[in-house]
Amino acid sequence: MSGNEMLGGALTRRGLIGAGAALAVAGVARGQGSPIGNGQPATVINTELKQLAPNVYAFLQREAKGQSNLSVSNFGCVVGPRSMLAIDAGGGPQHARNFIAATRSLGKPIDRVVITHEHPDHIVGLPVFPPGIDIVAQEETRSQMVKMGKPATPPYWATNPAWGRPGDVNQVILPTTTFHDRMSVWYGETQVDFVWPGRAHTSGDAIIMLPKEKIAFLGDIAFFEVAPLAASGFIGDWIKVCDKLLADPNIQTVVPGHGPVGGKAQLEEMKGYLELVMREGKKAHDKGVTAGRAAAELDLGKYATWTDADRIAPNMARLYSELNGTIGTDQDRGGAGAAMTEYNRLKGLR
């Protein structure tokens, strides 16, 4: 099952760089996302409902070639005899509508949704889900969502059909059930484990594991073919979590938060990106090089071809706060914005 959502022609990154950087950083201040670089919201998003096992599906979203992956995230679902579990809620109301429409053919109502973490690209579709369903998250994720209060509604929801409709209003729907380390639910004979692996992409990531099927929905602990984003991450711990997952014999198929379905080879490759940032960033930090300059001068190698490669700037800023011992669960918006501005200047992007 696939489809496209369009508004005019596809936008290219050229000509949008300066405005895109301002949009990205301003979006964080409004509670709408993370400082992710020079991207603009995609106007064409391709979708696919992909069967992974008899009762397990990934709903994959991917921007058209040349567009930004900003807030274009994946969903999942597990089908039981009477109802379905949804995994994540998407980065726009229309994303959730498309997911719900795609899974309607499976013939079961959604009775529960589990959120992998608090970032807007995984939660803002919650108001579209049936009222009264159980919303599950790791306890730290709920705490971070409480801090969001009443976020502003992105204006492009009303003008870009790939994201929303006129009249859509952004609101935070809080989880109704939380867990600390682990909880399990059953959909028929299918065991689904919600696991907190420790700090990684955020302080409260939830991994959704199906041990019998050897499938893991990793949320944004995994980015495949898309540059990882560490705006509120803990890069050193994230690498350690990846090592644990790579060693887990009950994982074979990996659904990332962004990008195509893969396996351990793809997770190992993404871990290499984090290791590159950690290794070379520490060298630059120890020499007194600023985060923005360190990002601009870093040779990303094969990762330079990944979507939104300019996320290296906010990622480097986050690493510097880790190395300085000033890191916290919240994003350092000022540091990320300064690094992005310097990166763009040195790269001649603005």
In this predicted structure, what is the pLDDT of residue 13?
34
> Is the model's pLDDT at 270 over the cut of 70?
yes
CA distance linking residue 217 with residue 86, whole number of Å: 11
> Concatenated DSSP letters for 204-257?
S--EEEETTTTEEEEEEEEESSB----TT--HHHHHHHHHHHHT-TT--EEEEE
**All residues at 6 or more sequence positions from 203 whose CB lies less than 8 Å from its CB, including other chains:** 140, 144, 232, 234, 329
CA distance linking residue 13 with residue 1, whole number of Å: 28
In this predicted structure, what is the pLDDT of residue 350?
63
> Is the model's pLDDT at 23 over the cut of 60?
no
For 74-129, how does the pLDDT look when each residue is reduced to its tens digit (9 = 90+)?
999 999 999 999 999 999 999 999 999 999 999 999 999 999 999 999 999 999 99
How many CA atoms within 13 Å lie on the side-chain side of 342? 20
* Cβ count near 283 (within 10 Å): 12
Q: What is the mean pLDDT of the chain?
A: 90
More confident site: 268 or 11: 268
User: Which of 158, 259, 254 minimizes the C-alpha distance to 208?
Assistant: 254
Question: Residues 343, 313: contact at Cβ < 8 Å?
Answer: yes
Range of the domain at 38: 2-347
> Concatenated DSSP letters for 128-162?
GSPTT-EEEEEHHHHHHHHHT-SPPPPGGGGT-TT
pLDDT band of residue 280 (cuts 50, 70, 90) is very high
Residue type at position 145: M
Buried b (16+ CB within 10 A) or exposed e, 307-320: bbebbbbbbbbbbb
pLDDT band of residue 37 (cuts 50, 70, 90) is low
CA distance linking residue 270 with residue 303, whole number of Å: 9
CATH of the domain at 146: 3.60.15.10
Share of the chain above pLDDT 90, in %: 85
CA distance linking residue 24 with residue 37, whole number of Å: 6
Q: Residue 262 gets which letter from DSSP?
A: B
For 170-221, how does the pLDDT look when each residue is reduced to its tens digit (9 = 90+)?
999 999 999 999 999 999 999 999 999 999 999 999 999 999 999 999 999 9
For 51-66, how does the pLDDT look when each residue is reduced to its tens digit (9 = 90+)?
999 999 999 999 999 9
CA distance linking residue 160 with residue 8, whole number of Å: 9
How many CA atoms within 13 Å lie on the side-chain side of 265? 3
In this predicted structure, what is the pLDDT of residue 39?
75
| Overall domain count for the chain | 1
pLDDT band of residue 17 (cuts 50, 70, 90) is very low
In this predicted structure, what is the pLDDT of residue 333?
87
